[in-house]
Amino acid sequence: MQPAVHLQWLLVLLQAFLVVQASPVPAATSATSLKQLWKTDGNQNPTVFIHGLLGWGESRKLLGTLNYWGGITQNILDTLRGQGYSVVAPNVGPLSSSWERACETFAQLTGRPTDYGVERSTRFKHARFGKDQTGKALLPRFGANFVPGATTVQKINIVGHSLGGPTARTLAHLLAFGSQAEMDACAKAGVVCSPLFWTNKTQTYVTGVFAISGVHQGSVVDDYLQATNGRVQFIKTLFSALVGVNNLNSLEIWDLQLGHHGLNQNSGEKFTAYLERVCSSAWFLSSTNALFDLGVENQSNPLLSFVKNAPGTAYFSIAGVSTNYLLGISLAQISTNLFLAPFANLIGTYSNSSLPILNTYSQRDWRQNDGLVMVASSRGPKSGYNSFSLDMQASSERDLVYSAPTATPIKGTYNYVGEWEHGDHLDIVGLFDLVPGMRNKVYLNILRVLSSLAA
pLDDT for residue 6? 41
How confident is residue 227, by pLDDT bands cut at 50, 70 and 90? confident
Local structure of residue 261 (DSSP, 8 states)? G
**pLDDT > 60? residue 13:** no
pTM, to two decimals: 0.91
pLDDT for residue 29? 54
pLDDT for residue 267? 87
DSSP 398-447: HHHHHHS-SSPPPBTSEEEEEEEET--TTGGGTTT-SSTTTTHHHHHHHH
**pLDDT > 80? residue 73:** yes
**pLDDT > 50? residue 422:** yes
Q: Determine contact, residues 207/155, Cβ cutoff 8 Å.
A: yes
How confident is residue 27, by pLDDT bands cut at 50, 70 and 90? very low
**pLDDT > 60? residue 248:** no
Q: Determine contact, residues 216/164, Cβ cutoff 8 Å.
A: no
Could you give the percent of the chain with pLDDT greater than 90? 73
* Mean predicted confidence (pLDDT) in 164-180: 98
Return the half-sphere exposure (C-beta side, CA atoms, 13 A cut-off) of residue 143: 17
Residue 80's alpha-carbon distances to 105, 214, 447, in angstroms, are 20, 21, 8
Could you give the percent of the chain with pLDDT greater than 70? 91
Local structure of residue 227 (DSSP, 8 states)? H
Q: Of 282, 160, 290, which Cα lies nearest the Cα of 219? A: 290
**pLDDT > 50? residue 4:** no
How confident is residue 30, by pLDDT bands cut at 50, 70 and 90? confident
As a residue count, the chain comes to 455
Edge-to-edge strand order for the sheet containing 314-321?
87-88, 47-50, 156-161, 206-212, 314-321, 414-421, 385-387
Q: What is the mean pLDDT of the chain?
A: 90
How confident is residue 216, by pLDDT bands cut at 50, 70 and 90? very high
pLDDT for residue 363? 87
**pLDDT > 90? residue 210:** yes
**pLDDT > 50? residue 28:** no
pLDDT for residue 255? 84
Q: Of 134, 196, 212, which Cα lies nearest the Cα of 380? A: 212
**pLDDT > 50? residue 5:** no
**pLDDT > 80? residue 244:** no
Q: Which amino acid belongs to residue 454?
A: A
pLDDT for residue 356? 77
How confident is residue 25, by pLDDT bands cut at 50, 70 and 90? very low
Q: Which amino acid belongs to residue 315?
A: Y
pLDDT for residue 252? 61
221 φ, ψ (degrees, to nearest 5)? -60, -45
**pLDDT > 60? residue 14:** no
Segment among 154-158, 358-362, 399-403 with least mean pLDDT: 358-362
* Mean predicted confidence (pLDDT) in 159-183: 98
Position with higher pLDDT, 361 vs 225: 225
**pLDDT > 90? residue 80:** yes
Per the DSSP assignment, residues forming a β-bridge with 211 are 160, 317
Q: How far is CA 315 from the centre of its chain?
A: 10
How confident is residue 361, by pLDDT bands cut at 50, 70 and 90? confident
Q: How far apart are CA 379 and CA 368, in angstroms?
A: 12
270-318: pLDDT as tens digits: 888 888 999 999 999 999 999 999 999 899 999 999 999 999 999 999 9
How confident is residue 445, by pLDDT bands cut at 50, 70 and 90? very high
Position with higher pLDDT, 84 vs 59: 84
419 φ, ψ (degrees, to nearest 5)? -100, 145
* Mean predicted confidence (pLDDT) in 159-169: 98
360 dihedral zone (left: phi>0; alpha: psi -120 to 50; beta): alpha
* Mean predicted confidence (pLDDT) in 39-53: 97
**pLDDT > 70? residue 247:** no
**pLDDT > 90? residue 254:** no
In degrees, rounded to 5, the angle at the alpha carbon of residue 368 between the alpha carbons of residues 53 and 225 is 45
How confident is residue 153, by pLDDT bands cut at 50, 70 and 90? very high
What stretch of H or E contains 231?
helix 231-243
Q: How far is CA 335 from the centre of its chain?
A: 23
Q: What distance, in Å, lies between the first and last C-alpha atoms of the chain?
A: 60
pLDDT for residue 273? 86
pLDDT for residue 65? 80
pLDDT for residue 250? 62
